[in-house]
């Protein structure tokens, strides 16, 4: 087995990107993703990679667009306000069918908000990461090891489906230190990219990377083709963890950092005899509808826990067609819910019932 090392979440994601074959990173400084950039700026010059500190997030995402057009694995990382600036580029990347990986180490908002951990960019990531009809793959790891595994998966899936992949983390996961191991021999899983604009060398026809279709019928067709791919992804790429769900009468739904807290609360509730489990979405788009529907067939009610005013709860209700009551507990602005608070909410949901 691969050696285990103790690493911070942000640094582990950066190292995983290198090991996944990424040699092009473009970013603009922002807390709390700082360690990602710092790590890559140290490592890339030694291994022939490009670390480029751009003049803005707008420029950074467009550099990613250029590098992705050339057919290489490219990444950018930022935090909430910076992701807003990237949304133009993300839309163009999606409209040009380009793969890339975008990290959002979320902080409190709106506006400049704060720098403490938050999950308030769920809607932005899953509903409107930019203008137009499109989706990006959204992953929400909840341990440092999972952050590593997710980076590999995000690059692979972005290449496979030719679309951007976003990893939603937060300041808590980014700063947390945990032991991790890196999968061996995974770096060369990159796909051939015959569509890349890298100079035709008179060996093939011209390649054009483009999102402009002035003919509405052609544009509609393009979007429909993309949505067929999305439908396929929704069938095959959902990921969720089910924890203590076998005999559960109630289910907590939480992702990322809040899932860690929810897990502690579930364990504490079990100790008090409440039959509760946790469904933890690992992909936020595609949302793990199957796991939620399975849970809905079994439990009396759900509790959605988020570090926001309640955003993922929309998807929980949609997934189960509102067939069960869905309660909500959230803290926002950078405040992390405590296991005790979540336990209190579980008890309320269970109505004190054992």
Residues in the site for other proteins, rule: CB under 8 A?
Answer: 24, 26, 50, 52, 54-56, 58-60, 62-72, 74, 88-89, 92, 96, 197-203, 206-212
Q: What is the rounded CA–CA span in Å between residue 104 and residue 86?
A: 11
Q: How far is the CB of 285 from other proteins (least distance, A)?
A: 23
Q: What φ, ψ does residue 307 adopt, rounded to 5°? A: -95, 65
Q: Strand pairing of 137-139 and 164-170?
A: parallel
Q: How far is the CB of 158 from other proteins (least distance, A)?
A: 16
Q: Strand pairing of 137-139 and 283-285?
A: antiparallel
- Fill in the DSSP letter of residue 137: E
Compute how many other C-beta atoms are within 10 angstroms of the C-beta atom of residue 175.
15
The DSSP result for 267-314, as a single string, is: HHHHHTT--EEEEEESEEES--HHHHHHHHTT-SEEEEEESSSSSHHH
CB nearer to other proteins: give 91 or 145. 91
CB nearer to other proteins: give 201 or 273. 201
Q: How far is the CB of 185 from other proteins (least distance, A)?
A: 24
CB nearer to other proteins: give 55 or 188. 55
Q: How far is the CB of 109 from other proteins (least distance, A)?
A: 23
CB nearer to other proteins: give 49 or 344. 49
Cα–Cα nearest to 303, from 282, 324, 283: 324
Q: How far is the CB of 326 from other proteins (least distance, A)?
A: 39
- Output the CA angle 40-307-16, nearest 5 degrees: 20
CB nearer to other proteins: give 63 or 303. 63
Q: How far is the CB of 100 from other proteins (least distance, A)?
A: 10
CB nearer to other proteins: give 60 or 248. 60
């Amino acid at each position: 087995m691969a050696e285990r090392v103790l690493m911070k979440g942000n640094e582990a994601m950066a190292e995983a990107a290198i090991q996944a074959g990424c040699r092009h990173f473009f970013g603009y400084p922002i807390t709390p993703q700082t360690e990602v950039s710092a790590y890559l700026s140290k490592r890339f010059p030694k291994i022939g990679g490009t670390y480029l500190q751009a003049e803005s997030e707008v420029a950074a995402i467009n550099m990613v667009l250029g590098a992705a057009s050339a057919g290489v694995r490219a990444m950018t990382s930022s935090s909430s306000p910076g992701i807003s600036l990237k949304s133009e580029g993300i839309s163009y990347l999606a409209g040009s069918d380009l793969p890339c990986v975008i990290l959002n180490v979320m902080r409190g908002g709106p506006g400049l908000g704060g720098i403490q951990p938050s999950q308030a960019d769920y809607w932005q990531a899953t509903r409107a990461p930019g203008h137009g009809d499109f989706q990006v793959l959204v992953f929400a790891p909840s341990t440092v090891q999972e952050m590593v595994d997710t980076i590999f998966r995000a690059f692979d899936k972005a290449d496979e489906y030719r679309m951007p992949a976003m990893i939603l983390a937060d300041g808590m996961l980014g700063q947390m230190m945990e032991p991790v191991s890196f999968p061996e021999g995974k770096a060369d899983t990159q796909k051939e990219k015959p569509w890349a604009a890298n100079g035709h060398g008179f060996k093939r026809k011209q390649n054009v990377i483009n999102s402009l279709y002035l003919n509405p019928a052609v544009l509609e067709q393009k979007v429909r083709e993309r949505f067929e791919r999305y439908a396929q992804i929704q069938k095959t790429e959902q990921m969720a963890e089910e924890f203590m769900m076998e005999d559960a009468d109630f289910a907590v739904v939480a992702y990322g950092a809040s899932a860690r807290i929810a897990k502690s609360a579930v364990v504490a509730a079990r100790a008090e005899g409440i039959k509760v489990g946790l469904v933890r979405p690992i992909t936020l788009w595609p949302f793990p509808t199957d796991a939620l529907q399975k849970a809905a067939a079994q439990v009396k009610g759900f509790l959605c826990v988020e570090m926001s005013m309640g955003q993922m709860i929309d998807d929980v209700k949609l997934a189960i067609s509102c067939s069960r009551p869905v309660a909500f507990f959230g803290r926002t602005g950078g405040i992390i819910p405590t296991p005790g608070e979540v336990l209190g909410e579980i008890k309320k949901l269970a109505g004190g019932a054992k």
